[in-house]
Chains A and B, each alone.
Chain A
């Protein structure tokens, strides 16, 4: 009887956990995602620390009621059940993966490449690939525009293209799912403490392991997105302005009126010997 009860308890808990993650209304979701702070009982979201943009996005550092703040940050203006990322300054709050590619004509490609890489490194970036006169660097997002301006000034721009992939919603959703999974893990661990037979314990442990794997996968995905947003990519191709010399053609020599000039030369020596 006890065993059946525990089993039913497990099943209902599991159903409740996943229902919480998938079907909680927007207002409630913020609370279950763990947007708490130490002042009003709601703590700030701590992850990911590496991404200032995401930190600013999720951080509730001003002790405001999370619901009031969520209305500012996460208004659902299109009634799709998901909060919009509309803020007073949308540009600063969006998470964008920025890439650019540029082709330039320069007097000395080797010197231009060295200068470009040095500038990227000075800005806190690094070289990711170089193939002959094509170079790819990653630089902090804050230095992206500066480095592009520097690159334009280095030579004559032949072509330029830019892309900005908005991953705000993707990152936001990932954060929510991560928090739900972590809370479910905590609840299962609490259940494990109370389990009183081996079969139930094994079942709960299997569920916990699966959750841990899921959490690690989502954390990895979140870290990847954060890195892509934090570091922008610029690919530059440098071409030389010096035109290749025309193919050599046989010279048409203008005959000279001086006899002695007509008979000198290496060709004449070869003929005469």
Chain B
């Protein structure tokens, strides 16, 4: 019973994550993680991970950049800072990647919250993936929506 209660409680941070859907996106469902899609294959996904090692924002951004570029062959396009609805600092990384022979744009925004629930640091990510023309067209709307993120 206690285990069940703890499992349910551990899901709370994920359930709490929300944001205003970017223009042209519709949220999939109201349970668990926030996912939204556009009519032209744009995908938006909010996720929350435990960070028991206590890695800070800079470390996480560097590790993600290295893994995506050096190990997976993504092509970096840009990088910058972003703030969520609580003005918590985050970092965004933008890449170009081929999927199924088609060029896609991939935006990864990351925040690190120290000592979140349940007693570990949290790494929170927002990912936006779309075919390149769609990515270019909808990127601004997604960046705007990031500022409405509430974890």
Contacts and interface: CB of A to CB of B under 8 A. Distances in A.
B71 A263 contact: no
Interface string B117-135: 0000001010101000000
B129 A253 contact: no
Contact of A269 (B43, B60, B64, B71): B43
A269 B127 contact: yes
A263 B35 contact: no
Contacts of A253: 67, 71-72
A75 B71 CA distance: 81
B99 A264 contact: no
A269 B35 CA distance: 10
A260 B45 contact: no
A174 B125 CA distance: 90
Contact of B47 (A254, A263, A267, A270): A263
A12 interface: no
A261 B47 CA distance: 12
B64 A264 contact: yes
Interface string B60-92: 100110011001111000000000000000000
Contacts of B97: 266
Contacts of B113: none
Is the interface on chain A under 10, 10 to 19, 20 to 34, or 35 or more residues? Answer: 10 to 19
Contacts of A266: 74, 95, 97, 99, 104, 106, 129
A259 interface: yes
Nearest to A260: B49
A251 interface: yes
Nearest to B127: A269
A260 B51 contact: yes
B68 A259 contact: no
B100 to A, nearest CB: 9
B108 A264 contact: yes
A273 B60 contact: no
B43 A273 contact: yes
Contacts of B73: 251
A15 to B, nearest CB: 86
Given A253-B71, A266-B106, A258 B53 contact: yes
The 7 closest A-B pairs by CB, nearest first: A260-B49, A260-B123, A253-B71, A269-B129, A266-B106, A266-B97, A266-B129
Interface of A: 251, 253-254, 256, 258-261, 263-267, 269-270, 272-273
Given A261-B64, A269-B127, A272-B35, 19 more contacts: A253-B72, A254-B71, A256-B63, A258-B55, A258-B63, A259-B50, A260-B49, A260-B50, A260-B125, A261-B67, A264-B64, A264-B108, A266-B106, A266-B129, A269-B45, A272-B45, A273-B35, A273-B37, A273-B43
29 contacts: A251-B73, A253-B67, A253-B71, A253-B72, A256-B63, A258-B51, A260-B49, A260-B50, A260-B123, A261-B63, A261-B64, A263-B49, A264-B47, A264-B68, A264-B108, A264-B127, A265-B72, A266-B74, A266-B97, A266-B99, A266-B106, A266-B129, A269-B106, A269-B129, A270-B99, A272-B35, A273-B37, A273-B43, A273-B45
